[in-house]
């Protein structure tokens, strides 16, 4: 069993500390804030064996050097952007496996937000750490990749089993919900979820993690091949990934 300890970092990042119960092995998914992570580890009485980075952006690797110096942990990160991951010890790419104690993650290469972005899928645990590729009701901005690359990446995550728990790296859900309603407001599942998200945020609760089933039903970026949504954005019958590109373009301008 993999325990997940989630906490907010910086203005809107989440950090995840994960611990394999059987061995006590601990890993940190991305390092938005080294000091905050060290404080959490100390409070939990956990050490740190691994850092698993998803991509090179500073709000994901900023604590690498400090945490490595303090805990002597090893750093695993994406092969295609290894030169931009501080302190990296081991690169991984599509199809590679990462072990946290006895828990196994499969690595998927999901270009789009950045060209080298990877995600970690602990299939036996029904958990995935997706960085800035997929958000609750959203997806990462296309800083480096093309709409086609991002659509292909998201389409692969969409295939995961319904109960896969999705740990995204930011709390963007409420703003994402407003945009989603602007393009997919006739979707009853989305309307219901948007209300639930407003209530959660009003209570100060996290809206992350989510599940892939919920995203499949309500996330406009996973629904770019839905006929009603395509019609709503004037892209009926458009080839994919053009409909996806149009939804992403509208979000960037929203
Ligand atoms: Zn990023
Ligand atoms: Fe980020």
Dihedral of alpha carbons 226, 231, 232, 234, sign: positive
pLDDT at 36: 98
Structure tokens at 219: 């996330």
Q: Which of 73, 74, 70 is nearest to 38 (CA)?
A: 70
Whole-number Å distance, alpha carbon 97 to ligand 2 midpoint, is 23
User: 187-234, pLDDT tens digit by residue?
Assistant: 999 999 999 999 999 999 999 999 999 999 999 999 999 999 999 999
User: 129-149, pLDDT tens digit by residue?
Assistant: 999 999 999 999 999 999 999
Q: Which of 110, 109, 116 is nearest to 94 (CA)?
A: 109
Task: Indicate the SS3 state at residue 224.
Answer: coil
- For the CA of 29, the nearest ligand: 2
Whole-number Å distance, alpha carbon 236 to ligand 2 midpoint, is 32
Q: What is the DSSP-derived secondary structure letter of residue 113?
A: S
pLDDT at 151: 98
Q: How many other β-carbons are positioned within 10 Å of the β-carbon of residue 72?
A: 10
pLDDT at 164: 98
- Geometric angle at alpha carbon 2, from 19 and 206, rounded to 5°: 90
The CA distance from 170 to 140, in Å, is: 10
Which residues in 1-37 are b (16+ Cβ under 10 Å) and which e? ebebbebbbeeebbbbbbbbeeeebbbbbbbbbbebb
Whole-number Å distance, alpha carbon 168 to ligand 1 midpoint, is 11
User: 176-193, pLDDT tens digit by residue?
Assistant: 999 999 999 999 999 999
Whole-number Å distance, alpha carbon 132 to ligand 2 midpoint, is 5
CATH superfamily, domain 2-252, is Ribonuclease Z/Hydroxyacylglutathione hydrolase-like (3.60.15.10)
The CA distance from 134 to 96, in Å, is: 20
Q: How many other β-carbons are positioned within 10 Å of the β-carbon of residue 44?
A: 13
Domain ranges of the chain: 2-252
Q: pTM score, two decimals?
A: 0.98
Whole-number Å distance, alpha carbon 22 to ligand 1 midpoint, is 32
Mean pLDDT of 7-31: 98
The CA distance from 154 to 78, in Å, is: 18
Mean pLDDT of 6-32: 98
CB distance 150 to 114 below 8 Å: no
User: 155-165, pLDDT tens digit by residue?
Assistant: 999 999 999 99
User: 51-100, pLDDT tens digit by residue?
Assistant: 999 999 999 999 999 999 999 999 999 999 999 999 999 999 999 999 99
> What positions carry a catalytic annotation?
55, 57, 59-60, 113, 132, 170
pLDDT at 216: 98
Structure tokens at 243: 């409909």
Phi, psi of 172 (to 5 degrees): -115, 10
The CA distance from 29 to 65, in Å, is: 14
Give residues whose Cβ lies within 5 Å of ion ligand 1: 57, 132
Whole-number Å distance, alpha carbon 24 to ligand 1 midpoint, is 29
Give residues whose Cβ lies within 5 Å of ion ligand 2: 59, 132
- Polymer length in residues for the chain: 254
pLDDT at 92: 98
Q: Which of 161, 121, 141 is nearest to 221 (CA)?
A: 141
pLDDT at 156: 98
Whole-number Å distance, alpha carbon 78 to ligand 1 midpoint, is 13
- For the CA of 59, the nearest ligand: 2
């Amino acid at each position: 069993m993999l325990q997940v300890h989630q906490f907010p970092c910086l203005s809107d990042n989440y950090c995840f500390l994960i611990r394999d119960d059987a061995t006590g092995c601990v890993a940190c998914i991305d390092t938005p804030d080294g000091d905050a992570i060290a404080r959490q580890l100390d409070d939990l009485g956990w050490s740190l064996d691994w850092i698993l980075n998803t991509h090179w952006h500073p709000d994901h690797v900023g604590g690498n050097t400090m945490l490595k110096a303090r805990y002597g942990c090893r750093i695993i990160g994406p092969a295609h952007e290894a030169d931009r991951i501080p302190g990296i010890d081991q690169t991984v790419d599509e199809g590679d496996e990462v072990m946290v104690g006895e828990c196994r993650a499969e690595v998927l290469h999901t270009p789009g937000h950045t060209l080298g972005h990877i995600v970690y899928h602990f299939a036996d645990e029904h958990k995935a750490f997706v960085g800035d590729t997929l958000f609750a009701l959203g997806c990462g901005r296309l800083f480096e990749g093309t709409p086609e690359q991002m659509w292909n990446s998201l389409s692969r995550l969409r295939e995961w089993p319904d109960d896969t728990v999705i740990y995204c790296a930011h709390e963007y859900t409420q703003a994402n919900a407003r945009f989603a309603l602007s393009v997919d407001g006739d979707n009853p599942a989305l309307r219901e979820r948007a209300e639930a998200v407003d209530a959660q945020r009003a209570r100060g609760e996290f809206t992350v993690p989510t599940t892939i089933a919920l995203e499949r039903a309500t996330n406009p970026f996973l629904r770019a091949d839905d006929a009603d949504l395509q019609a709503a954005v004037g892209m009926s019958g458009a080839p994919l990934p053009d409909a996806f590109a149009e939804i992403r373009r509208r979000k960037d301008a929203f």
